[in-house]
A = this chain, B = another copy of it.
Amino acid sequence: MADGPTINTIAERAGVSIASVSRVLNGLPTRQETERKVMAAADELGYVRNAVARSLKSRRTHQVAFAMADVGNPAYLAMLRQIQPVLKAAGYRLVLHSTDAVAADEIDVLHSLGERYVDGLIMSPLRVTETHLEMLAAARAPVVIIGSVPEGTRVDNVRADSHTGVRLAIDHLHTLGRRRIAMINGPVDTVPGAARGAAYREALGDLGLRHDEALVRIGDFYRPDGARAVADLLERVPDVDALMCANDLIALGALDVLRAAGRRVPEDVAVVGMDDTDLAAASWPSLTSVSLGSAERGKAAAELLLERLQGGGGEPRVVTVPPRLVVRASTAGFEAAGPEYVHHHREEGGK
């Protein structure tokens, strides 16, 4: 682990100046003989360019940061999976920040852009505060936000359309004949929580369904919260026949409780999740879920950022990724269930 060779070491060994070494290394026009000597020396020494020095000079780090609320959340993971290869292909490294959805941490990340350890940032904040907006305006590097920001915010922005997403799900449930459709939501002071709650109310109104506050339960976005909320719901509204859950984790908690309560899914109660994570396909019954295009959003965000990094200026862009309803067993029953590679064989003698 001795001190690595630098262009100085190479220059000495090859008997040329450091400028020549640099030129060769960067593929600039050089005499063949010089090039040969330099390459030979570099090879022998096992030379590797120092990225830090390079960055200092070039003012480019070839690093991009991705700040997510929670490494454990599959929706962010889906974004990460798409972001990573796009950046890699463009020669950027990925610096990962987990902010635990703490606003202060997110502000920190925005602030730290001033340290210039990355060329840009992709961030997916759960809540967008005034301070967020101020910091965004003052950001020292290009930022792409995954999630919705207020109209007029001058920042590249990739948004999901949870409004339409909820709508798709409610329509689906309605079509299946469900009329007592509950909503198990996350905190309404979060961007997604607020949007999904509003969309639910609107959809119910449009379908002419009676509004009933007891049908709306609120907890956090995790499985035990979903379970608690649904346990509570079943007591208050025993005749509920469908659950619109604000994400898949909540929906899993719902399935746990329904199963324990002896309610059949989907016969007695149909369940829809959101985000269409891996868990949706893994659960049993598999979970009908609204894909908000996490993967697509991640990809779009990465591409938007790369454009900024390469092209430079221009007006902020807003990309909206359309939602998609993925129907599985938790609403459609077993006919729709199971991964594609399984050919069902049941006692009744299905195919």
Binding site for B on A (CB under 8 A): 1, 4, 46-53, 55-56, 61, 63, 71-72, 74, 77, 80-81, 84-85, 88, 93-98, 111-112, 114-117, 138-141, 223-224, 227-228, 252-253, 255-257, 259-262, 278-279, 282-285, 338-339, 341-347
B residues within 8 A CB of A228? 341
Can you offer 5 A-B residue contacts whose CB atoms are under 8 A?
Answer: A53-B56, A223-B339, A252-B282, A260-B338, A279-B279
A239 to B: closest C-beta gap in Å = 18
Known: A52-B61, A71-B84. A4 touches B114 (CB 8 A): yes
Cβ B98 vs Cβ A88 within 8 A: yes
Chain B residues whose C-beta falls within 8 Å of the C-beta of A252 in the assembled complex: 282
Q: How far is the CA of A130 from the CA of B47 in the complex (A)?
A: 21
Partner of A278, one of B139, B279, B339, B343: B279
Q: How far is the CA of A261 from the CA of B349 in the complex (A)?
A: 11
- Assess A1 versus B139: contact at CB under 8 Å? Given A227-B339, A283-B284: yes
A76 to chain B, nearest CB (A): 10
Residue with the greatest number of chain B CB neighbours at <10 A, chosen from A114, A115, A261: A115
Question: How many Å lie between the Cα of A168 and that of B48 in the bound state?
Answer: 47
The reply to whether B259 and A341 form a contact with Cβ atoms under 8 Å apart is no
Chain B residue at smallest Cβ distance from A225:
B341
Nearest chain B CB to A338 CB, angstrom units: 6
Verify B46–A260 contact, CB threshold 8 A. no
Selected contact of A115 from candidates B49, B95, B227, B342, CB within 8 Å: B49
Q: What is the distance, in angstroms, from A6's C-beta to the closest C-beta of chain B?
A: 11
User: Whole-angstrom distance from the CB of A305 to the nearest CB of chain B?
Assistant: 14
Max chain B CB contacts within 10 Å: which of A48, A117, A283? Answer: A117
Chain B residues whose C-beta falls within 8 Å of the C-beta of A114 in the assembled complex: 4, 46-49
Which B residue sits closest to A93, measured CB to CB? B95
CB distance from A166 to the nearest CB of B (A): 23
Residues of B with C-beta under 8 A to A253: 339
Q: Is A256 in contact with B84, judged by CB distance below 8 angstroms? A: no
Which B residues touch A342, using CB under 8 A? Answer: 227, 256-257, 259-260
On whether A285 and B284 interact (CB within 8 A), knowing A51-B117, A94-B96, A260-B343, the answer reads: yes
**Residue from B50, B81, B138, B345 in contact with A262 in the complex, judged by beta carbons closer than 8 Å:** B345
Question: Is B72 within 8 A of A115, CB to CB?
Answer: no
**Residue pair A346, B93 in contact (C-beta under 8 Å):** no
Question: Chain B residues with Cβ under 8 A from A339's Cβ?
Answer: 223-224, 227, 253, 256
Sample of 9 more A-B contacts, CB < 8 Å, known A52-B56, A260-B343, A282-B283: A1-B140, A1-B141, A63-B95, A63-B117, A71-B81, A88-B98, A262-B346, A283-B283, A283-B284
